[in-house]
Amino acid sequence: MRVQTLCATGAEGQRNTVDVVIRGRPQGTIVFFPGDISAGREEMKADEESREWLEWNTEAICELLAKRCPVSMRVVLVRPSRMRQGFSCYDHFLTTNLNGDPLDGEYDPEGSCSLHLLMLLQDLSRTLNISEDEFFSSFHILAFSKGGVVINQLLAELGADVCVEGSRKLLAVTRSIGWLDPGVNEGSCVFLTNEELLRRAGRRLRGVTPPTTLFAVFTPFQLAVESYGFEYPEEEEAATSEELGLDLVQSIMKEEEVPFEVEFCCFDREPTMQTHFHVLKEFRTWRFSRKAWNGQMTNKERESFTRRIPLTLSRSCVLM
């Protein structure tokens, strides 16, 4: 298995580095956005603080995902536009602050995230000499940790009054969208919390045949448990799933009849950074990936990998 590292050009000439794994004749594409800390292997080797987490470099993550996903899928990992002191900043996809969080905690429905991603993938298909018809047969968009801000921005644009061309094209071929242990830094919610945008996005997701499936996976690192050592300021309490936006997303998608699953992973260990990264190795949704992505999963199978337990989320946020 070989990881290719390439550059692709998106909207307004902006370029992103991507890591790619292709095996055989793929029939679909996983597009993945990594979180904080992860950078290219050589870049992490050269940084003393990053070296501790070298095994989670972007090339290694891309290879890991390729091993875990069906053989019929190619993997495209999109690196952040910039890194700042270990923070991943997706500036080409949304407006961010210095550390890569959405500016003022907001997502812009009139942004150009979907167009930039579409153009990146189109440019990549030309570089790889793959026809657009073949390359754009089906997509599964996954984001880990901070990378979840890209999914939120995509949903915001999907929920705009007028759905832009980039959103429509991506929606037509996107079979699933997943947040893997999503989290941001201070001042922002983990999920999109604009109800109007979520409802419109839900209606459009439902209109795809088969409907686009949403899922979120959490580990103890992002959820407060008794042994978790995160200390809150006296005036601040841990955010509940309602405050975080998860409850809102779930309820709206249920009303709009969009499949949405929540999985709790790695709850047999301590809530460390390693546990956080291990979600990439252990989240269970892919055990039924072919059925889940084709809309063929039975209720019994859904129950076997979806475990709902009452926990308080460990990151506080301000509702928009």
- Could you report the per-residue pLDDT of 161-198, keeping only the tens digit for each? 998 888 999 999 999 999 999 988 765 678 998 999 99
- Could you report the per-residue pLDDT of 189-230, keeping only the tens digit for each? 789 989 999 999 999 999 988 889 999 998 888 775 443 333
Residue 315: CB atoms within 10 Å:
20
Whether 320 maps to a domain, the answer reads: no
Whether 266 maps to a domain, the answer reads: yes
Give residue for tokens 């291990």.
278
Answer yes or no: is pLDDT of 10 > 60.
yes
Strand partners, 89: 82
Give the residue among 161, 150, 23, 162 at the shortest CA–CA distance from 93: 150
Q: Position 247: which residue type? A: D
Could you tell me the two tokens for 79?
A: 């690196």
Contact (Cβ atoms closer than 8 angstroms) between residue 166 and residue 199: no
Whether 17 maps to a domain, the answer reads: yes
Whether 194 maps to a domain, the answer reads: yes
Whether 318 maps to a domain, the answer reads: no
- Could you report the per-residue pLDDT of 112-138, keeping only the tens digit for each? 999 999 999 999 999 999 999 999 989
CATH number of the domain residue 178 falls in: 3.40.50.1820
CA distance 43 to 96: 23
Whether 40 maps to a domain, the answer reads: yes
Whether 187 maps to a domain, the answer reads: yes
Whether 274 maps to a domain, the answer reads: yes
How many domains does one find in the chain? 1
Instruction: Note down the domain range covering 271.
Output: 3-313
Give the residue among 81, 74, 68 at the shortest CA–CA distance from 34: 81
